[in-house]
Amino acid sequence: MRPRLVLFFLSPRLIDCDSYLPVAMEMKAQLPDLDIRFVTFSRENYDDVRSNPTLAAGLARCGTLAWVGGEGPGGRLRRSLRRIRKFAELAASLIRRPGAMLFHGRQYVERPYRALFWLNRMLGGRGFVLARIRMVDEGHHPHRLSEFEVMGSRRLSWLDRLRGRESDGLVHYHDRQEMYLRSLAKFGRTDWPRRAKVGLPSALPSWRALIAEAVETERQALAAAGRNVDEIYSFFSAKGYSSTHLRTPESAQRTFDNVVRSLTTLRPRATILLRPHPLALREPWFKAALEAIGNPNVVLSYAHPEVMVALSRRALVNNPTNILFTTPFGRFIDCSDYRPSHYEQVGEASLAEGYGVVFVNPARDDFAQRLEWALGEEPWQDVAVFAKRERLSRDNPPSIAEMLNWFEASMPNADPIPSGISNAASSPGQRP
Alpha carbons within 13 A on the beta-carbon side of 166: 26
Residue 416 has pLDDT above 60, yes or no: no
Confidence class of residue 284 from pLDDT cuts 50, 70 and 90? confident
* 317 strand-pairing partners: 236, 334
Percent of the chain with pLDDT over 90: 60
**Could you report the per-residue pLDDT of 100-128, keeping only the tens digit for each?**
999 999 999 888 899 999 999 999 899 99
Strand order in the sheet with 5-10: 63-67, 35-40, 5-10, 101-104, 126-130, 170-172, 195-197
Residue 54 has pLDDT above 80, yes or no: yes
Q: Please tell me the distance from the alpha carbon of residue 375 to that of residue 316, in angstroms, as a whole number.
A: 10
Evaluate whether 117 touches 94 at the Cβ level (below 8 Å).
no
Mean pLDDT of 31-46: 92
Residue 429 has pLDDT above 60, yes or no: no
Confidence class of residue 68 from pLDDT cuts 50, 70 and 90? confident
**Could you report the per-residue pLDDT of 307-353, keeping only the tens digit for each?**
999 999 999 999 988 999 999 999 999 999 999 999 998 899 999 99
Residue 423 has pLDDT above 50, yes or no: no
Q: So what's the pLDDT on residue 282?
A: 77
Helices (H), 136-250: 158-163, 178-183, 205-224
Residue 88 has pLDDT above 80, yes or no: yes
The Cα-based distances of 344 to 144, 338, 339, 350, 354 in angstroms read 19, 11, 9, 12, 18
Domains annotated on the chain, with CATH: 5-204+398-410 (3.40.50), 222-390 (3.40.50.2000)
Q: So what's the pLDDT on residue 418?
A: 42
Helices (H), 231-366: 251-266, 284-293, 305-311, 323-326, 340-346
Confidence class of residue 426 from pLDDT cuts 50, 70 and 90? very low
Considering the entire predicted model, what is its pTM? Answer: 0.88
Residue 166 has pLDDT above 60, yes or no: yes
Give the residue among 5, 11, 42, 40 at the shortest CA–CA distance from 24. 5
Confidence class of residue 77 from pLDDT cuts 50, 70 and 90? confident
**Could you report the per-residue pLDDT of 189-240, keeping only the tens digit for each?**
888 888 999 999 999 999 999 999 999 999 999 999 999 999 999 999 987 6
Give the residue among 71, 63, 23, 22 at the shortest CA–CA distance from 47. 71
Q: So what's the pLDDT on residue 13?
A: 83
Residue 132 has pLDDT above 80, yes or no: yes
**Could you report the per-residue pLDDT of 385-409, keeping only the tens digit for each?**
999 999 999 999 999 998 888 766 6
Residue 427 has pLDDT above 50, yes or no: no
Mean pLDDT of 353-374: 96
Residue 150 has pLDDT above 70, yes or no: no
- Return the top range by mean pLDDT from 35-49, 61-75, 268-282, 365-379: 365-379
Q: Please tell me the distance from the alpha carbon of residue 228 to that of residue 241, in angstroms, as a whole number.
A: 33
Confidence class of residue 29 from pLDDT cuts 50, 70 and 90? very high
Q: So what's the pLDDT on residue 422?
A: 42
Per the prediction, the chain carries an average pLDDT of 87
